A and B are shown apart, each in its own frame.
Chain A
Amino acid sequence: MELKTIKNYIPLFATIFVFILIYTMGAMLYDNFLSLRVFLNLFLDNAFVGVIAVGMTFVILSGGIDLSVGSVVAFVCILSAKLLEVYQINPFLVVLVCLLFGVFLGTVMGAVIHFFAVPDFLVTLVGMFLCRGLAYMVDLQSIPIRDELFLAVNTMGINFGGGVNFRLISIIFIMVWAAGVYVSHYTRFGRNIYALGGDVVSANLMGIPIGKTRILVYTMSSTLAALGGLLYAVYTLSGYAAAAQGLELDAIAAVVIGGTLLTGGVGFVEGTMVGVLILGLIQTFISFQGTLSSWWTNIIIGLLIFSFILLQRFLSLRSDTDQK
C-alpha cells in the first residue's frame, strides 16, 4: 500500500485537483466563498449522501452495485418520523430498529446475490422498489419531527463563534468515512473486498471467503443507508416517503468521481470524500451564482463523470500497451 502502486492513485489525484480547481474558481469569483462556514456546510449538507457513498464505495470495489440505498433512506426517514411522532416510541429504540432494518435488508440482498447468483443490479433494483413502496405504506404525507433527541442532535455541534457551527451530523459523516478508510486499508475484510472486485474466480481459488465478504458488503451498504436515512431525518427534521429520489445515483456519482473504478477492485474510500465534496461544491457554486438553474448541477456532474471515465479508460489502455 505504498505509493508505488501509483497507477491506482492517478484518478484520486485528479479528483483532488478538480476539487481545488473548483474551489479556487469560486473563491476568485465570489466573496465569502472561501469562508469557514461555506466549507463546513459542505460536510453538513452532504452528510447523508456521504455516509451512503462510503457504503457504495465498498459495494463498487467488490464489483457490485447497490441501487436500493435511496429508497432505504426514504423508508427509514418516514418510518422513524412515524414511530417517533405518531407512536411516541423511545428515540433510541427507533434508531436501533432503523439500523437493524438496514442490517436485515442488506444481508438478505447479499445472500440472494451470492447464493442464487442473481445479478446484483436486479436484486437491489427489487430492494429499491420494495423500500419505496414500504415508505409510501408508512405514510403518504410528510411528518414533521419534534422529538427532543432528534432536535438536539440537529443543533448539536462544536461552536467556532460568529455563528459558525461544526454540527454533529457532519462529525458523524467524517467518522463513518474515517472508519471506512481504516476498514479498506487495515482489515482483512476490507482487503478481501478489493480481491473480490479484482477477480472473483481467482479470489475464490486463493482461498478468500468470497461468500461471506460479498454478503457483508451489502449488509454494510444497507446499514449505512439506514444511518444515512436517520441523518436525513435529523437534518430535515421531517419524514417524507418521496424523499431522496435518485440519491443512489448521486452516491454512485460521488464514488466514480472519487476515482473508484465501476468494474471493481480499484479505488479508495478517501477519494469518495473528495467526490462527495465536489458534488457539494458544484451545488454551492451554483447557489452563489444565483441565476443559473439548479439543473446545471446535473449537467456539470454528468460532464465530470464522463471525463473521469475517459481518464480511467485512458489510464488502463496506456498501461496495457506499456506493459513490459
Chain B
Amino acid sequence: MNIKKPVLCCTSITKFFSGVIALDKVNFNLFPGEIHGLLGENGAGKSTLIKCLTGVYLPDHGDIYYEGKRVVFAAPSEARNRGISTVYQEINLIQTLSVAENIFAGRQPLSKGRINWKKINERSRELLAMLDLDIDVTALLSEYSTAVQQMVAIARSLDISAKVLILDEPTSSLDEDEAHMLFNVIRKLRNEGMAIVFISHFLDQVLELCDTLTILRNGESVGEYRANEISKHELIIKMLGKKLAAFENRVAELNSSDESKKDVFYSVRSMSRRKSMKHFDLDLKKGEVLGLAGLLGSGRTEIARLLFGIDKPHSGNTVIKGVSGSVLSPKNAVRHSFGYCPEDRKLEGLIPCLTIRENIVLALQVKKGLLKYISLKKQRKIAEKFMQLVSIKAPSCEENVSRLSGGNQQKVIIARWLAANPEFLILDEPTRGIDVGAKFEIQKLILKFRDLGMSILFISSELDELVRCCDRVAVLRDRKKITEYTGRSLCSEKIMATIAHVTSEAEDGNLL
C-alpha cells in the first residue's frame, strides 16, 4: 500500500465560516483500493472536509491534489466529471423527478443526440438490483421512504466509472441488512481499485468495513490509524478527546424502574389504517418509555403518525387520560400535550432559516398559545439550557440552523420537543446521525424526562439503544404488531429473533 500514490490528497486544508474555524490545517490521504473511514463528533468537520474536496466549498487555505496534480474544483459538477462521486449527508435528490431520472440526472445516456429513457430505466433497475432493491423506477421519488431514497442516492453515486467514491453517512436511514448489502458492494468496488471514503457514527460498521481511519476533532485531524490496530474504546477516546467513563453501565443503572403501578396515559384498541397498519392495541403509561422495534417499513412511523393524528385511522378506539376520544389532528394532539419528533428532519422538522433559539422555542410557543409572549431573555435562557443539555455545537443560540452540522441539527429538534415538556412524546429515530457521546447524553435525557413522568414512544433501528432505554418494547413486522417484551424478557436477541422471523416475506415488503 505504501508504494502506491494517493489518488486524492489534501494538505493543510483550512476553512472558516464567518470567522469561525471549521477545518484547521487538515491533511488527508486517500489511496486507490482502500476504504477510508472518517470519524469525529458532530460538528467535527467531516462533511465540511468532504465539501471542500468536492468543490462545494472553496477552502481558505491548503491544496488539493487529484491523481498527482493540484486541482481547484469550482463546482460539484467539476469534481464529478473528473471521477469523484459523492453522496452528501442530507439526501440530495429531487423529489419531483422519477427514481430513474434521479439516478441519471445531469448525465443521461444519449443515443442519436436524444435522451434514451429506455436505457435510463433499465440501467437504474440494474443498479438498484445491486443493492437488492426492486422498485418501480419510473415512479416519483417522493413516493418512497427515506431509506429507499438513501439507496437511490447511493445507486446514483455507483454508476459513474468513478475513481473515488465518497459516502457521507450513507447508512443513517438503512437497517442492518440493507447496510450489509451496501458494504458488499463497497468491498467489491474497493477490490476493483476504487478509493472509498466512508463516514458514519456507527462505530461497529466503520470498524467492520474500513481499512484506514482518519479521526477529526474540532476541525483538526487527530491522526490516521489502521482499522485493525485500534479498538472501539480507543476510537471513542480519540474522537471525544476524553474518556466516556463506564459508558454502558450508567445507562443500565438508570434503566430500572418499577413497572407495575403506572397509570395508563393513552390507550389504543384495534386501531388500523388501510395500506399502512393492521389492527393493533397499544398502552402508553405515564413515566414509561415504550420502544417500537422492527425493520424499516414495518409500520413504526405509521403508528407514530396515527397516534399523533397526522394520518386518520380507519378503525379503532382511543382513551386519553381515562376519557375516550380521538386525536383528530396534529393541532389537537398538541392540545392534548403531545409532542412528535419526526424521522425526516429535512422535510418535516427544522425550519432552516430560523435561529437555534427560534427553532427550540417553537413547540413551546405553540403549546402556550401563539399570543402569549415569551420574553427574549427567557427564550435565550431556555435555548441555552437545552443546547447544553443535548450538547449542540454552535457559536451561540442565535446561529442559523442551516449552518449547523447534520447531527447538530438533529439535536435541535430533540431539544425543541424536550423544551416543550409534553406529557407524551414520540421520538422517531432521534439519535440518527448523532455521535456516540451525544447519543449517550440523549438517552440519559430521555430517561430523566421519563422519571419526571413523561410518557415516551421511542422508535429506533438500534436494538441496543432500545434495550437500554425502554421499559417495554413492541415489535412490529409487516405492518403488524407481533408482540411486546418487558422487564427480564427484554433483550436484543429476542427482539432480533422476532423481527427476523419470516425474513423472506419481510424482505419483499419492507422498503415500500
Measured CB to CB, the residues of A under 8 A from B are: 1-2, 4-5, 7-8, 182, 185-188, 191-192, 194-195, 197-199, 201-209, 211, 265-266, 319, 321, 323-324
Does B88 lie within 8 Å of A205, measured CB to CB? yes
CB pairs A–B below 8 angstroms (23 shown): A1-B98, A4-B136, A4-B138, A5-B98, A186-B114, A191-B105, A194-B94, A194-B96, A194-B97, A195-B97, A195-B105, A201-B92, A202-B92, A204-B75, A205-B56, A206-B94, A206-B156, A207-B75, A207-B77, A208-B106, A265-B97, A321-B310, A321-B311
Those of B104-155 within 8 Å (CB) of chain A:
105-108, 110, 114-115, 117, 121, 136, 138-140, 142-145
Chain A residues touching B, majority SS: helix
- The interface centre, meaning the residue of B94, B95, B121, B139 with most chain A CB atoms within 10 A of its CB, is B94
Contact status B94-A265, CB under 8 Å: yes
Does B276 interact with chain A (Cβ within 8 Å)?
Answer: yes
Q: Please, which residue of chain B has its CB at the minimum distance from the CB of A188?
A: B108
B453 interface residue per 8 A CB criterion: no
Contacts of B140 in A (CB 8 A): 5, 7-8
Question: Does B496 reach chain A (CB closer than 8 Å)?
Answer: no
> Within B46-76, which residues are at the interface with A (CB < 8 Å)?
56, 75-76
Closest to A199 in B: B94
Name B116's closest neighbour in chain A (CB-CB): A186
Q: Assuming A198-B95, A211-B75, A265-B94, what are 5 further A-B pairs, CB within 8 angstroms?
A: A1-B101, A186-B114, A206-B156, A207-B106, A321-B310
Q: How many A-B residue pairs have CB under 8 A?
A: 105
The 8 closest A-B pairs by CB, nearest first: A207-B80, A198-B94, A4-B138, A186-B114, A202-B92, A207-B77, A265-B96, A198-B96
B144 CB to closest chain A CB (Å) equals 8
Known: A192-B105, A195-B94. A205 touches B145 (CB 8 A): no
Name the B residues within 8 Å of A202 (CB-CB).
92-94
Nearest B residue to A201, CB-CB: B92
Give A185 to B297 CA distance when docked, in angstroms. 33
Residues of A within 8 A of B96 (CB): 8, 194, 197-199, 265-266
Closest to B98 in A: A5
**Contact at A187–B92, with CB atoms within 8 Å?**
no
Instruction: Say whether B488 faces chain A, with CB atoms less than 8 Å apart.
Output: no
CB distance from A73 to the nearest CB of B (A): 31
B6 → chain A closest CB, angstroms? 23
Name the CB-closest residue of A to B115.
A186
**Could you tell me if B108 and A4 are in contact, using CB atoms closer than 8 angstroms?**
no
Q: Which residues from B are CB-within-8-Å of A211?
A: 75
Name the residue on B nearest A320 (C-beta).
B142
